[in-house]
Amino acid sequence: MDLLAVTATTVLTALTFVTVLMAWPRSPVRHLLGGVIVGRFVPRWTFFAPVPGTTDFHVVWRAWEKDSPGPWREMIAMTPQRRPIDVLWNPSKFSRKATIDIALELLQESIILNDQGDSNAAILTVPYILLAQRTSREASLYPMIEHFQFAIVADSLAEPSARPAFVSRVHAA
């Protein structure tokens, strides 16, 4: 067999094998690759399982003036509405999915940091910084705002009353 063919077969087999190992929840491969950027390229294939997403996440923010909070406002652009045309053309799916990914990662990291007794470190995580930066940009549209705070709220058609899943610190605008 040609050397190129042998090499290609070996590489493809190894990659497929790694994909299979990543599927096992307690596999050493998942533990090894789970936290590094290379591991993100390995597919998991566990769509909506074992725990399916059954809530919507919304990012909301509010201004703080003289120790008093203002009303919560939703960042609608982060969770665009679904439309019938989405079956064919759905550019807003990226924002919607990104909001879910960021919210879930922040919630998971907060839980881990809380368990480690270091909940303050949440502000150093990438999802927190992403949301803080985004909120800062929103707040900058209102020059009078000096401080802001953001939150992630969860709801669904089954449970329409929004409940806070994460509330940030108050930051200077």
Closer Cβ to another protein, 104 or 173, answer by number: 104
Q: Which of 106, 76, 79, 75 is nearest to 93 (CA)?
A: 79
Under a CB-based contact definition with an 8 Å cutoff, are residues 30 and 24 in contact? Answer: yes
How open is the CA angle 159-170-163, to the nearest 5 degrees?
5
Closer Cβ to another protein, 9 or 119, answer by number: 9
Contacts with another protein by CB under 8 A lie at 1-2, 4-5, 8-9, 11-12, 15-16, 19-20, 23, 36-37, 40-41, 43-56, 77-79, 81-82, 86-102, 126, 129-130, 133-134, 137, 156-158
Closer Cβ to another protein, 137 or 169, answer by number: 137
Under a CB-based contact definition with an 8 Å cutoff, are residues 150 and 57 in contact? Answer: no
Residue 119 CB, shortest distance to another protein, in Å, is 20
Closer Cβ to another protein, 1 or 144, answer by number: 1
Backbone angles phi, psi at 73, to 5 degrees: -125, 140
What's the token pair of residue 24?
């096992």
Residue 48 CB, shortest distance to another protein, in Å, is 6
Rounded to whole angstroms, the Cα distance separating 92 from 97 reads 9
Q: Are strands 73-74 and 56-65 parallel, antiparallel or unpaired?
A: antiparallel
Rounded to whole angstroms, the Cα distance separating 105 from 135 reads 18
Residue 65 CB, shortest distance to another protein, in Å, is 26
Residue 120 CB, shortest distance to another protein, in Å, is 18
Closer Cβ to another protein, 92 or 121, answer by number: 92
Residue 85 CB, shortest distance to another protein, in Å, is 9
The DSSP output letter for 20 is H
